[in-house]
Amino acid sequence: MKEIKVGLATCGIAAGGETVYEEFKKEIKENNLDIPVNETGCMGMCYAEVLVELVDENESHLYSKITPDKVKRIITEHVMENNPVEDWIIRNNTIDKEQDFSRKQKQIVLRNCGVIDPGSIDDYIARDGYKAVQKCLKEYSPDQVIDIVKKSGLRGRGGGGFSTGLKWQFAQRPVSDKKYIICNADEGDPGAFMDRSALEGDPHSVLEGMMIAAYAIGADEAYIYVRAEYPLAVERLLNAIEQCEQRGFLGKKVFGTDFNFKIKLKEGAGAFVCGEETALIASIEGKRGVPRVRPPFPAVKGLWGKPTNINNVETYANVPWIILNGADAFASMGTEKSKGTKVFALAGKIAKSGLAEVPMGITINEIVNEIGGGIAGGKKFKAVQMGGPSGGCIPASQGDLKIDYDEITKTGAIMGSGGLIVLDETSCMVDLAKFFLNFTQNESCGKCTFCRIGTKRMLEILDRLTMGEGKEGDIELLLELGEKIKNSSLCGLGQTAPNPVLTTIKYFREEYEAHINDKKCPAHSCVALLTYSILPDKCTGCTLCARKCPVEAITGKVKEVHLLDQSKCIRCGLCYDACKFDAVEKI
């Protein structure tokens, strides 16, 4: 019996997965075949989408980069003639073209992603789904559950890295008639999509994790605060909740015990700051999403003033595995203080962008060079940016750094929720800092003086720098403001907003200095600082550049050296790209 699974997470859809899916259905119908075509979640290899898994009688074959026009051949040759199309297969029992990508990975959170149909609770149950929560309800007391989670060493995967077990304990302690569980699915870092993939690919494991947490702290109601920009995740979550309710996994007397639990979905309107727990709570309460001072912490006074436990998607998704496999199994992975695995979204100038779940303790170089296949286009690896707008960059020179909460923090970056952007020699660090600061500046709620105006002023300085209008003292001013913003802001957004600037200054100060003193961008990225000129000894007078130039800045007769008028040049770079003789120089 054969089965076809098409990767239909957002990455798959974006690559055209839906048309491939439809094409398979059409072909199967036309050929009167009785083969199910199912959806599945993200398999991590976003760079290789559309991914199609064809399970035949013997084994599973993973097809990569499938387009609708390739579907017919797969159906005829592989399905009908049992002759796998090896050209397109990247993995089966004999082929493993992508072993570098998967070899160093260890999948706990993503254990079901790309394997099961996320729309099917039976698929989840078939892979030991909801066994963990039943085990807890029947075999463990809440204290024991908390002990296991504490012992596992699981730390908050949302970025804070606080001990999950301890957090649960804090929420368990207060006596209250009502307690809440909140799942923070307001993933907002630019370039990060770990939570989205987990929700799209395996919503049930998140629900199960929440159920276990609820049982542990004594909550009977939960909210999943998910971004409205994740429509597929919302759809799959709603579907999963409905299935649970139908099976009695949610509602009154869950699994026949005294445990009552319901989960509601709350769609966030896309404010980044609502990822901050107090702002998130305010938002669920229908108020303006603005952080408030802590203490009191949500564990004491949270949603509607009741003790509340908030964890993010990835944290909850780890929990069922820990319960089933034991705290020790989890704690055996990783470093002394950072246990288990971490999912990273690899993006940027890397050859293979995608999702990778790696054991803690792996080095940055291993992730970039082995899993990610190195830098695209053979350029030089310069740095990684971790933790999104709250994080910072780690230079390539520290590539041997182990993935570990505390080690990363020491560099000035943070582990964050798992965004990992790889930068090469063409990335301007000032521009990078500007990009992230622009993001936080726009996403600041506007409450605290330093975050509201301070980040704006820093951004203006960076703007100045990239426009070639930097002046002496700007770096010092950035450092001073950055330090003050970190010190005097109420929530994590403000406290970390200057990190991208501070770390880039720390590791790439000379780049800043070049912008200010020489009015040059060493990465040749800041347009305003570029100068294009034609090298007379290389110019053949082919006229191509002159014809491409949109502002007629280049003049010259055929077979004569061309001239570029700097006063007209708008630095679009078309001439540089057009020249076949490397006669256009960019400095």
Binding site for other proteins (CB under 8 A): 271, 273, 288, 290, 292-293, 295, 441-450, 452-457, 460, 477, 480-481, 484, 486-490, 495
Measured from the CB atom, the residue of 392 and 395 that comes closer to other proteins is 392
Bond before 558 cis per omega within 30 degrees: no
> Could you write out the DSSP letters of every residue in 386-400?
ESGGG-EEEEGGGTT
Whole-number Å distance between alpha carbons of 250 and 242: 9
C-beta of 448 vs 583, nearer to other proteins:
448
Q: In this structure, how many other beta carbons lie within 10 angstroms of the beta carbon of residue 259? A: 17
Instruction: Give CA angle at 107 (104, 110), nearest 5°.
Output: 135
Cβ 455 to other proteins, closest distance in Å? 8
- For helices 313-325 and 131-139, angle between their N-to-C axes, nearest 10 degrees: 60
With beta carbons less than 8 A apart as the criterion, state whether 45 and 51 touch. Answer: yes
Beta strand segments in 438-527, E: none
**SS3 call for 211:** helix
Rg (CA), the chain: 26
Q: Which is nearer to other proteins, 278 or 417 (CB)?
A: 278
Q: What is the DSSP string of 29-66?
A: HHTT----EEEE---S-GGGPSPEEEE-SS-EEEE-S-
Residue 158 Cβ vs other proteins, minimum distance, rounded to whole Å:
20
- For other proteins, give the closer residue by CB, 309 or 495: 495
Query: Cβ of residue 516: shortest distance to other proteins, in angstroms?
Result: 15
In angstroms, the CA 338 to CA 346 distance is 20
CB 194 → other proteins: shortest distance, Å? 25
| Cα distances (angstroms) measured from residue 111 to each of 106, 127, 129, 343 | 9, 9, 11, 11
Query: Which conformational region is residue 132 in: left (phi greater than 0), alpha (psi within -120 to 50 degrees), or beta?
Result: alpha
Six token digits for residue 412: 């000035």
Instruction: Give the separation between CA 438 and CA 432, rounded to whole angstroms.
Output: 10
Structure tokens at 262: 């319901």
Cβ closer to other proteins: 84 or 388?
A: 388
DSSP structural state of residue 297 = P
Instruction: Using the minimum distance from each CB to other proteins, give the nearer residue, 197 or 455.
Output: 455
Kindly state the smallest distance separating residue 282's Cβ from other proteins, in Å. Answer: 12
Are the C-beta atoms of residues 152 and 340 closer than 8 Å to each other? yes
- Shortest reach from residue 450's CB to other proteins, in Å: 6
Cβ distance to other proteins smaller for residue 348 or 454: 454
Q: To the nearest whole angstrom, how small is the minimum distance from the Cβ of residue 394 to other proteins? A: 21
- Say which residue the tokens 């690899």 belong to: 346
Q: Which lies closer to other proteins via its Cβ, residue 40 or residue 496? A: 496
Q: How far apart are CA 362 and CA 367, in angstroms?
A: 7
Q: CB-wise, 114 or 482, nearer to other proteins?
A: 482
Nearer to other proteins, 353 or 444 (CB): 444
* For other proteins, the closer CB: 36 or 473: 473
How far is Cα 136 from Cα 153, in angstroms, rounded to an integer?
18
CA distance 461 to 467: 10
* Shortest separation between residue 460's beta carbon and other proteins, angstroms: 4
State the minimum distance, in angstroms, from the CB of residue 454 to other proteins: 5
Residue 445: CB minimum distance to other proteins, A:
6
Q: Cα–chain-centroid distance for residue 372?
A: 14
CB of 552 vs other proteins, minimal distance in Å: 28
Give which of 15, 53, 48, 18 is closest to 36, Cα–Cα.
Answer: 53
Helix (H, G, I), strand (E, B) or coil at 536: coil
Least distance between other proteins and beta carbon 139 (Å): 39
Which residue's structure tokens are 């007209």?
568
| Closer residue to other proteins in complex, CB, 328/483 | 483
